[in-house]
Chains A and B, each alone.
Chain A
Amino acid sequence: MKSPRSLGWWLAGFAVLSAVFRLGKLTVPVFKIPFLAGTTVGWVLTVLVGLIGGWLALRGKPKWQLSPLTLKQVRRFRAIGRGHLSLMILLGLVGVACLDDLIVGKRALVVRHEGQWFFPFITDPIPASTFGFEGEGEAEYRTMKRLWAESESSSWALMPLVPYDPMLDTPEIIELLVEKDGVVYQGDGETPYSGRAYTVFREKPTQSRMEWTFRDGLKQGEMRGWDIEGEQVERDTFEEGKSTGYTDYSNGKAAALTDASDGLLRRIVYPPAAPSWSSRHFLGTTSAGGDVLAILFGGWQQAIIASLLFVSFVFFVGVVIGGTLGYFGGLYDLLGQRLIEIWSVLPFLFIVMIVSSIIQPSLVMLVGIIAVFGWMGTTIYLRTAAYRERSRDYVASARLLGAGTGRIIFKHILPNCIAILVTLAPFEVAAIINSLAALDFLGFGLPPEDPSWGRLLREGTEDFNYPWIVSSAFAALTTVLVLVTFVGEAVREAFDPKKFTTYE
């Protein structure tokens, strides 16, 4: 992107690839971004990007011609190491978020089965029957991968780094227990097991055969046994590993079931599960069983989308309303300001609470609600700036030269207000991330299945027994907010016309 022309080629290429992938029904990370808001919006965006790209590539200047002032500001920004580094890290994180299914998701990246290649993460759902498993539902790649590995099959699957979806993906974690000298131990083979454990039918692994309760590795309390149809056929009670009262409900048929199971003791690891390298839950799971890292990732994607929408809306409204208020002034300005004042005192939180108790807001709607109550600050700044700029001499001379209102606004006043917008942007981003998290924390936010940092934070604070939940969410939120704030400070400093400010 050394020149507007090369940027144009890049954009045009992106638009073409997006369109091609879309027509080929492939959801490729990065290239599916224009279509996130639906088909129509997607095509409009793609065509727009393509046209702009094409125009730049053909008609654009061969070199960037930046004003010396801008160059100076960029230089100054680069010189502020902390801010510059923060921006690089943030951009890197945004890039990671764009990779989407490539690094986080339950669909395999590549599957090799019976000589064929599959790329499930970009194609339509592939039924399990395609891979020789039962059912027309979507294949479960994690299970497939495990079963193939166990049976040393020639088929294989490559999963993303985090093989879990950020939403609606809560697999059970089942651990095999170890029996040594009549004492049952947890999977590590060292801690005597306390809790429930069961065996399953060899022919029907979803049906439990028998279930016991263990205390310190010994059977204690009730045992229940089922037949393959799920009817209870026997029960027993144990006292320190010894049977004390066996009952057979099926007139002796229960004894015949003894060999029906493989004899392996299993236990369900109840969520939340602690971080574990082996189950690929790098940051553990939530109390519903969702992967914390995947949810952090999904939440970060949401935060980026929310920030883009929010900043665009607020800036657009700020420029239009603030700019005209300041430029035209008079009664319009007076009334506008009073309306803004009235609007500012509306109890924002109550309104969000009322709205979200009636309907379930989506991300766009939620950002819309927050934006409707969050545009006033930028607008007031813009108004002040426009008000100040229009009484400057250069505006007066432009007018004397016969420039129209439109030209004055777009060519003279707005470019001089951009510094304010750029300075405000990082703080607006921090504000929206914060607001979203706060609303989710209070339970008035996104639909319940959507990944969200606020909800993760709330879940964590409800129960400190599972520190990985709250610490992950807290770390993610503070890291991003701190980075954004560092960038904001650096931008502000870079755009400050005075190199040295002294306070008197």
Chain B
Amino acid sequence: MLLRSWMLSKQVWRLLSGGLMSLVLLASCGDSEDIRFPPYDNTAEVEAFWKSKPEFFQWKTPADLPTDLVWEDGAGVPEFGDPRALKGGTFHDYHPTYPPTFRHVGPDGNNTFRGEHHDNITISLVTRHPDEDVWIPGMAEAWAISGDRKTVYFKLDPAVTYSDGVPLEVEDFFMTFYVMLSPHLKDPWYNDWYAKEYKAITKYDDHTFSVTIPEPKPDPIWYAMVPASPQHFYREFGVDFPARYQWRIEPTVGAYEIDAERLKRGRSITLSRVKDWWARDKKHYRYIYNVDFIEYRIIASQDKAFEMFRQGQLDYFLGGLPRYWYDKTEIPEVYRGYIERHVFYNQYPQVTWGVYLNESKPPLDNQDVRIGINYAMDFKKVIEVDFRGDKARMQSTSSGFGKFTNPDVRAKPYDPAKAREYFAKAGFSKAGRDGVLVNAEGKRLSFTLSTFSSGPIVPIMLRLKEGALKAGLEIIVEGLDGTQLYKKLDQKNHELAFAGFGAQPPYPRYWDFYHSDNAWKTGKDGKRELVTDTNNITMTADPELDRIIDRHRSAKTEDEVQELSWQLAKLIEERGNSIPAWESPFYRYLSWRWVRWPKTGNAKKSQLPLDAHMFWIDPAIKEETLNAMEEDRSFGEQLLMHDDYKMP
């Protein structure tokens, strides 16, 4: 959770900016019988919308299906999870804030609680195997890719029902496009994505349909697996969507839904396992989603949460920071083995923590200055001291993408002498009274580094500042509130920024971060203008890079993607505008003894311990542990290293 709260993503921003509003709404609106929202039926609108785009929404017959399709159903794929898993019990966890909404789209929808009640729960059309690079059935029991790799065909599993018992229909996917393309959604990102990345959706019969994307992709399934939007739930979707759906709980095809009866507004949220869940006996789902209830208490202070964990009121605690992992675990509960410590080596794209240099702010447009700054960042000491050597230096900002990560790209080590060499090349050769380098015009080598004011980030930045000063570089650390920082980066007003972007499989993304389309545009009067609100916070604009990025974006095979990814990683490293900070090949957590985890520890491709829902609670062990605590009996200290998936 800590990891997430650090992340510079829309999540953080939205969560923060939504805080006040949700309070107001909490007070004013409660039930769906709110007089502000009279019953509404959008059936006619939806059908008219579908009709208005006959190219996009198509209805055909099974006879229209191509005959040469090779249907896959993931039959030979190994199982995952642990057959020993027991069903039942309540798992107690915490969350730092109460979510501003239960919607997963629209304003504030992308908040930090979204993963807990939506992303990690829902079952998509096809699902990525948590340990292997293969697809497994989800809502679709079979799928096929067209010869031109632009269309993916799905056969829905007839058993799929929503948590309220309503069966899944093909039109629910059509509904997704209606919702996501609608201006009423008040969420431009989704509007843009669904307008640009999809070309058509076609129904063949009640269980068969296809999704077409505009450009062929190495693996079009990543794009084609659109979520389902239950039509009966979105019947009232209209102008007032954000307010009307603020606290409505969407029926899910996943294993858990927010339990309205156990909900304590502002204090706790409980997810309960769907009764007679359609996938409970399916091959790939029978050993996961084991507990009956997951209770998230809202606890703002991590220290308080740790104390509650220690008392056994919480079952699990994510121990990322050394403070919790080392200092606070010197307690009898750990020595006696009531609380077990786990270290799990995962394989997941890394959050790209790093210092990003804005090339549009001189003298950061000078490559020598940028390279000098690279050498002036003492991340070695940060890793050694602040993280006690538990993290490793990230070598490139596309780390953790497996074969798509270029292993030859290395981050520049801390070397004040080399940094001074590069600064001298750029004209900064004389040291001033305060030790900061000055150029011939008397301009000091001083930059503002914007970052979050929260968490342990600011002390780490101060350590960088101390090291940079030895290389003659002054950094002014500016700790900002998340909203302010996000705004500043969006407006490209920063000089240096310390931030991290959560990356997602399958491939590293370069267009968003380094393409000139996201840096400059030609304004009405023919002048160059800044493009705001994009992820290109380095303001990289290089025609040569652009060409490769365009090819990377439209690459048709994985080999091509790999080759271009490697090239791009190398070129970006040479530009020196993104200074990778640290990464962690593992995550670590503490859990009470009765929380059991699979033999391998967890899912290989999980980002955080709970993502894959592979754990279970063993009541017999719980009783044994509680008895042992009363009798002061020890099980011996447990430090469980799960390094099956450790990369060499």
Q: Please tell me if A289 contacts chain B, counting CB pairs below 8 Å.
A: yes
Q: Please tell me if A358 contacts chain B, counting CB pairs below 8 Å.
A: yes
* CB neighbors of A among B537-596 (8 A): none
Question: Are A230 and B433 in contact, with the CB atoms below 8 A?
Answer: no
B209 shortest CB reach to chain A, Å: 49
Question: Are B472 and A170 in contact, with the CB atoms below 8 A?
Answer: no
Q: Please tell me if B463 contacts chain A, counting CB pairs below 8 Å.
A: yes
Q: Total interface residues on B, using CB and 8 Å?
A: 37
Question: Are A172 and B465 in contact, with the CB atoms below 8 A?
Answer: no
Question: Are A170 and B465 in contact, with the CB atoms below 8 A?
Answer: no
Task: Choose, from A66-74, A135-143, A385-393, the stretch at the interface.
Answer: A135-143
Pick the residue among B327, B385, B435 that contacts A138 (CB under 8 A). B435
Pick the residue among A124, A137, A268 that contacts B385 (CB under 8 A). A268
* CB neighbors of B among A99-137 (8 A): 124-125, 127, 134-137
CA distance A449 to B469 in the complex (A): 13
Of all chain A residues, the one with the shortest Cβ separation from B302 is A462
Question: Are A447 and B469 in contact, with the CB atoms below 8 A?
Answer: no
Question: Are B459 and A462 in contact, with the CB atoms below 8 A?
Answer: no
Of all chain A residues, the one with the shortest Cβ separation from B429 is A136
CA distance A227 to B531 in the complex (A): 46
Question: Are B469 and A136 in contact, with the CB atoms below 8 A?
Answer: no
Q: Please tell me if B462 contacts chain A, counting CB pairs below 8 Å.
A: yes
CA distance A165 to B183 in the complex (A): 57
Pick the residue among B385, B420, B469 that contacts A172 (CB under 8 A). B385
Question: Are B465 and A125 in contact, with the CB atoms below 8 A?
Answer: no
Question: Are B462 and A448 in contact, with the CB atoms below 8 A?
Answer: yes
On chain B, the residues within 8 Å of A270 by CB distance are: 322, 385, 388
Of all chain B residues, the one with the shortest Cβ separation from A357 is B481
Question: Are A465 and B480 in contact, with the CB atoms below 8 A?
Answer: no
On chain A, the residues within 8 Å of B417 by CB distance are: 134-136
Q: Please tell me if A155 contacts chain B, counting CB pairs below 8 Å.
A: no
CA distance A360 to B472 in the complex (A): 23
Pick the residue among A25, A136, A138, A448 that contacts B459 (CB under 8 A). A448
Chain A, residues 447-490, CB within 8 Å of chain B (1/0): the string is: 11100000000000011010000000000000000000000000
CA distance A287 to B323 in the complex (A): 10
Q: Total interface residues on A, using CB and 8 Å?
A: 32
Question: Are B477 and A137 in contact, with the CB atoms below 8 A?
Answer: no
On chain B, the residues within 8 Å of A357 by CB distance are: 453, 480-481, 484
CA distance A448 to B478 in the complex (A): 8
On chain A, the residues within 8 Å of B319 by CB distance are: none
On chain B, the residues within 8 Å of A287 by CB distance are: 323, 459
Q: Which of A125, A134, A137, A230 has the most CB of B within 10 A?
A: A137
Question: Are A463 and B327 in contact, with the CB atoms below 8 A?
Answer: yes
Q: Please tell me if B413 contacts chain A, counting CB pairs below 8 Å.
A: yes
Q: Please tell me if A16 contacts chain B, counting CB pairs below 8 Å.
A: no
On chain A, the residues within 8 Å of B471 by CB distance are: 137
On chain A, the residues within 8 Å of B480 by CB distance are: 357
Q: Please tell me if B381 contacts chain A, counting CB pairs below 8 Å.
A: yes
Question: Are A463 and B323 in contact, with the CB atoms below 8 A?
Answer: yes
Question: Are A170 and B416 in contact, with the CB atoms below 8 A?
Answer: no
On chain A, the residues within 8 Å of B384 by CB distance are: 172, 268
* CB neighbors of A among B464-480 (8 A): 465-466, 469-472, 477-480
Q: Please tell me if B303 contacts chain A, counting CB pairs below 8 Å.
A: yes
B354 shortest CB reach to chain A, Å: 19
Question: Are A289 and B470 in contact, with the CB atoms below 8 A?
Answer: no
CA distance A172 to B433 in the complex (A): 26
Chain A, residues 230-246, CB within 8 Å of chain B (1/0): the string is: 10000000000000000
A278 shortest CB reach to chain B, Å: 20
Q: Please tell me if A443 contacts chain B, counting CB pairs below 8 Å.
A: yes
Question: Are A462 and B303 in contact, with the CB atoms below 8 A?
Answer: yes
On chain A, the residues within 8 Å of B416 by CB distance are: 135, 137
Pick the residue among B303, B413, B433, B466 that contacts A169 (CB under 8 A). B466
Pick the residue among B303, B328, B431 that contacts A136 (CB under 8 A). B431
On chain A, the residues within 8 Å of B461 by CB distance are: 448
Question: Are A124 and B323 in contact, with the CB atoms below 8 A?
Answer: no
Question: Are A170 and B479 in contact, with the CB atoms below 8 A?
Answer: no
Known contacts: A448-B462, A463-B327. The answer to whether A125 contacts B435 by CB under 8 A is yes
CA distance A168 to B436 in the complex (A): 14
Q: Please tell me if A145 contacts chain B, counting CB pairs below 8 Å.
A: no
* CB neighbors of A among B427-486 (8 A): 431, 433-435, 453, 458-459, 461-463, 465-466, 469-472, 477-481, 484
CA distance A134 to B478 in the complex (A): 32
Q: Which of B386, B466, B469 has the most CB of A within 10 A?
A: B466
On chain B, the residues within 8 Å of A230 by CB distance are: 413
Chain B, residues 320-342, CB within 8 Å of chain A (1/0): the string is: 00110001100000000000000
Q: Please tell me if A160 contacts chain B, counting CB pairs below 8 Å.
A: no
B24 shortest CB reach to chain A, Å: 17
Chain A, residues 246-286, CB within 8 Å of chain B (1/0): the string is: 00000000000000000000001011000000000000000
Q: Please tell me if B502 contacts chain A, counting CB pairs below 8 Å.
A: no
Q: Please tell me if B30 contacts chain A, counting CB pairs below 8 Å.
A: no
B567 shortest CB reach to chain A, Å: 23
Q: Please tell me if B89 contacts chain A, counting CB pairs below 8 Å.
A: no
Question: Are B462 and A288 in contact, with the CB atoms below 8 A?
Answer: yes
Closest 3 CB pairs of A and B: A357-B481, A137-B470, A288-B459
| Further 16 A-B residue pairs, CB within 8 A, beyond A135-B416, A138-B470, A168-B462 | A136-B472, A137-B420, A137-B470, A137-B471, A170-B385, A170-B463, A211-B389, A288-B463, A357-B453, A357-B480, A357-B484, A360-B479, A443-B453, A448-B458, A463-B303, A463-B323
Chain A residues with CB under 8 Å of chain B are 25, 124-125, 127, 134-138, 168-170, 172, 196, 211, 230, 268, 270-271, 287-289, 357-358, 360, 443, 447-449, 462-463, 465
5 of the cross-chain contacts (CB-CB < 8 Å) are: A137-B435, A137-B472, A138-B435, A168-B469, A172-B381
